[in-house]
Amino acid sequence: MDARIQSLSVDKLASASADALVLVIAGDHLPAQLDPAVAGAVQSAIKLGDFAHKAGKAVLMHAVPGLKSPRLVMAAAANTSVKAAKAALEAGLGQVKGREVAHVAVAFVGFGDLGSAIWVQAMQALADASYLYQHTKPSVSKDTRVTKATFLVDKADLKAARTGLAQGSAVASGVRLAKELANRPGNHCTPTHLAEQAKQLARRTGMKVEVLDRKAVERLGMGSFLAVAQGSDEALRFIVLRYDGAPRTQAPVVLVGKGITFDTGGISLKPGAEMDEMKFDMGGAASVLGTMQAVGELKPKLNVVALIPACENMPSGRAVKPGDVVTSMSGQTIEILNTDAEGRLILCDALTYAERIKPAVVVDVATLTGACVIALGGVRSGMYASDDDLAQALLQAGDVALDPCWRMPLDDEYEEGLKSNFADVANIAGRAGGSITAAKFLQRFASKYRWAHLDIAGTAWKGGAAKGGTGRPVGLLTQFLLAQVR
Ligand code: BES
Ligand code: MN
Ligand code: ZN
């Protein structure tokens, strides 16, 4: 995405030169200073009944007299909030989709004092519109994608726009990486591929990376992670990626991402319908890498470590079986009653490994449970935290980033069902409260530090016609990290 800023006041918008001028309009009337050529076009569309100052309304007009750009798009925002502005911009960009519009000029009208947050989101909306998956579909045409954006900014807003667009651009490249990795099929995006991507990211951004193979993981005693990986012929990887933006004395934030590159369920095999979507089961890993990409561009004064256990969950003659008991790195024994509850089995060893880093806080991110999809759908990620301040920080980061989450409970009573006659803990409880009992399992391995868990099973990807990774929760995590800078 080629993005630039042009200083231009609202009375001169008609002079903007692009394939389409996209106008995002708030309020129930046009500001008096608005460029008369533009204002005239909007008024005529209103008179014709094609447009109104009503949320969701968006229209495209051609060859408007006095306008330098051959197309004018107007989109109405429900109010002057950042969320409404982004929704309207997306509706406006929807109008140019599929047309030969490579370059758009974007202006916000009637929003009053624009903060920087609106620009953070504007950049992300543009990047979203420009994203095209090509890795295994190189034949797809790029011609109908926006590739260049000019943001038309009033002089008074220039400073906020520069700050916001820089942050938005970093988040957008993180989201892009997360989407791209999630979208790559399981035979391409293997644990080895994820590790290779982490190495490239480290090279690009000047971070340190360490990739552990099976032998190293065995030496660490990660019996739970190894049990999941043992059914697959694909080599496992444990990725450690470090960003040092602050003195060594400052304890790092640790992000842990579930990296199951394909989840068949193992011996507790999943049904066939939509099983292909289990290539997205590394969405936690993808979003953690995406967040590291954003961090690498923004360079905040902070230390961050990413931990990614990556493997496949497959059935085979060597696969772990229901009833098998394994010993985790923490020393706790686990009875694996269902091999499809594998995410928690690889995460628990990563959470124990995190103790060595002496973290300020650990946040794990995982497409962990179907139950979370039932509870919260695709709007908010499930969020669990052992600490109220941490929960508050994540809630707020999600709201600001328009990548929201919702706090879920961790009452001790929820742990009842994890009792086992043959091990310290079982890997599943009953069907009730499935997302919560998964979190309770993880909590047993995260007692030595402040900890939070994001269940992104409902938010990491979309199914159906728009099937694909969403890049969530890169926005939330990046916002959270930026707020940690002291
Ligand atoms: N990766 C799945 C969770 C999932 C399922 C995410 C569907 C999104 C859509 C996870 O490994 C899993 O299989 N969880 C089981 C746990 C159960 C066996 C306790 C589930 O949710 O059914
Ligand atoms: Mn599973
Ligand atoms: Zn899974």
| One domain for residues 119 and 265 | no
| One domain for residues 377 and 419 | yes
Residue range(s) defining the domain that contains residue 323: 175-484
The model carries a pTM of 0.98
The SS3 assignment for 256 reads strand
Separation CA 48–CA 272 (nearest Å): 51
| One domain for residues 118 and 193 | no
- Say how many Å lie between the CA of residue 281 and the centre of ligand 3: 5
Nearest to 73 by CA among 86, 56, 58, 88: 58
Structure tokens given for 96: 């140019």
| One domain for residues 115 and 201 | no
Residue 164 domain-assigned (yes or no): no
Neighbours of 231 (CB within 10 A): 23
| One domain for residues 184 and 136 | no
Per-residue pLDDT at 486: 82
Q: Which of 157, 186, 202 is the last residue of a domain?
A: 157
| One domain for residues 120 and 188 | no
- Say how many Å lie between the CA of residue 372 and the centre of ligand 1: 9
Q: At what angle do helices 158-183 and 117-130 cross, to 10 degrees?
A: 40
Taking only the tens of pLDDT, the chain with its 486 residues reads 899 999 999 999 999 999 999 999 999 999 999 999 999 999 999 999 999 999 999 999 999 999 999 999 999 999 999 999 999 999 999 999 999 999 999 999 999 888 999 999 999 999 999 999 999 999 987 777 999 999 999 999 999 999 999 999 999 999 999 999 999 999 999 999 999 999 999 999 999 999 999 999 999 999 999 999 999 999 999 999 999 999 999 999 999 999 999 999 999 999 999 999 999 999 999 999 999 999 999 999 999 999 999 999 999 999 999 999 999 999 999 999 999 999 999 999 999 999 999 999 999 999 999 999 999 999 999 999 999 999 999 999 999 999 999 999 999 999 999 999 999 999 999 999 999 999 999 999 999 999 999 999 999 999 999 999 999 999 999 999 999 998
Give the residue, out of 277, 340, 348, 437, with the most ligand 1 atoms within 8 A of its beta carbon, to mutate for a pocket test. 340
The H-assigned helical ranges of 131-184 are: 158-183
Q: Whose CA is nearest to atom 5 of ligand 1?
A: 370
Q: Is the CB of 259 under 6 A from ligand 1?
A: no
Per-residue pLDDT at 143: 75
Residue 163 domain-assigned (yes or no): no
Distance of CA 19 to the CA centre of its chain: 30
CB 385 within 8 A of CB 451: yes
The H-assigned helical ranges of 184-262 are: 191-205, 214-220, 223-229
Number of structural domains in the chain: 2
Q: At what angle do helices 117-130 and 82-96 cross, to 10 degrees?
A: 30
Structure tokens given for 104: 């758009």
Per-residue pLDDT at 371: 98
DSSP string, 434-473: HHHHHHHHHHTT-TTS-EEEEE-TTTSEE-GGG-EE--TT
- Say how many Å lie between the CA of residue 366 and the centre of ligand 3: 8
CATH number at residue 15: 3.40.220.10
Per-residue pLDDT at 113: 84
Q: Which of 157, 192, 208 is the last residue of a domain?
A: 157
